[in-house]
Amino acid sequence: MPSLYDIPPWLIRTFAVAFGLIWGSFLNVVIHRVPRGESVVRPASKCPNCGQPIRPWNNIPVLSWVLLRGRARCCGARISPRYVLVEAASGLMALAIVEVLLLPMPPETTLLRVAVVFVSALALVLALMAAAFIDLEHMYIPDPIPYGLTVIGLATHSLRDVGWRDAVVAAAGSFLLVWLVFGVLYRWVRGRTGMGMGDAKLLMVAGAWFGWKGAAFALMAGAVQATVAAAIALVVRGKIDEPEAVTREREEILAQVAAIEDPAERARAERELETDPIFETSPDGNALLRIPFGPFLALAMIEYLLVGDALAQRYLGWLAY
């Protein structure tokens, strides 16, 4: 059975970065198409501006964007730096996984185990990045991401020294806790929800992958970083804007309801709107300050994957049991 000993580290690094870059390119497709209800497989990539198909050699991760100076080859339209950012981050994350999780393994570790650790960890990081970017733009997280990651986490728990029971109980417990506290209790007391179901499902992922300690870390580190980011945004810009897509979605829904001809049916649709979180307002009538928490939960989980043991020992020693 070939082991880690048989492959030189430079080859592992090169392979991992290339693998990460290619999947990073796919990640851009997921982030753009999934919230729009489009297939991630077909059709092939098209220029978002003029609709011409993008040739594979103009679609090389990072390199194409740099060579074309951030513009489309076909029509010269500006291409969002998000694309190159996501690709570069995916390559870097793959390299970080190699350095932190793979190379420190004992040399006799079988290549099969090395590959499973790499692929599962990269799937976690990339899917969390997709969830973060989609949540930032659209204020929701597509269900297949947290459900898929929970299944992968439970299936690979033994690779991370997390007991099967701990993983299952922490996953279900984290979800129920957030749902009960923020979905039910907070709603009952304050009349509105504090965190979304998407956040509850992301915390379920943390439980399935890292047990109670990881879920507690994700919740706390996520909350601290979200608070710091909100404070910085308030200081720098004076206010926190909601994503444009959310404003647009609200206008579209209102237009649809206004277009309903039957008065009884329109009244029913208007009543339904009152329970839609997108229309919730604060007591002074303004739209609620909406900071998506998902990106910060995702960030905290990536931190826990890569530097969690050291951080948990330092700050969460009291949780050890």
User: Site residues (CB under 5 A) for Zn ion?
Assistant: 47, 49-50, 72, 74-75
Contact of 161 with 144, CB cutoff 8 Å? no
Burial 222-231 (b: 16+ CB within 10 A, else e): beebbeeeee
Residue number, 52 or 281, with CB nearest to Zn ion: 52
Nearer to Zn ion, 75 or 112 (CB): 75
- Whose Cβ is closer to Zn ion: residue 77's or residue 155's? 77
> What's 54's DSSP letter?
P
CB-wise, 72 or 176, nearer to Zn ion? 72
Looking at the DSSP bridge assignments, the partners of residue 53 are: 46
Shortest distance, position 46 Cβ to Zn ion, whole Å: 8
Which value, in Å, is the radius of gyration of the alpha carbons in the chain?
22
Of all residues in the shown chain, the one whose CB is closest to Zn ion is: 47
Each residue of 43-57: b (16+ CB within 10 Å) or e? eeeebeeeeeebeee
- Tokens for 155, please give them: 């299936």
CA 315 to chain centre: 24
| C-beta of 46 vs 165, nearer to Zn ion | 46
Contact 103, 10 (CB under 8 A): no
Least distance to Zn ion, CB of residue 5, Å: 49
- For the bound state, the minimum distance from the C-beta of residue 25 to Zn ion, rounded and expressed in Å, comes to 18
The Cα 68–Cα 77 span in angstroms is: 11
CB of 61 to Zn ion, least distance (A): 19
Burial class (CB in 10 A: 0-12, 13-18, 19+), 266: middle
- We find the least distance from the C-beta atom of residue 51 to Zn ion, in angstroms, to be 7
Count of residues making up the chain: 321
Minimum CB distance to Zn ion smaller for 77 or for 220? 77
Amino acid type, 256: Q
| Least distance between Zn ion and beta carbon 55 (Å) | 12
C-beta of 90: minimal distance to Zn ion in Å?
Answer: 24
Kindly tell me which of 72 and 105 has the beta carbon lying closer to Zn ion.
Answer: 72
Could you tell me the smallest distance in angstroms from the CB atom of residue 140 to Zn ion? 29
**Cα 161 from Cα 155, distance rounded (Å):** 12
Exposed, middle or buried by CB within 10 Å (0-12, 13-18, 19+), for 285? exposed
Taking the least distance from each CB to Zn ion, the nearer of 28 and 150 is: 28
* Segments in 38-98 forming alpha helices (H): 63-67, 81-97
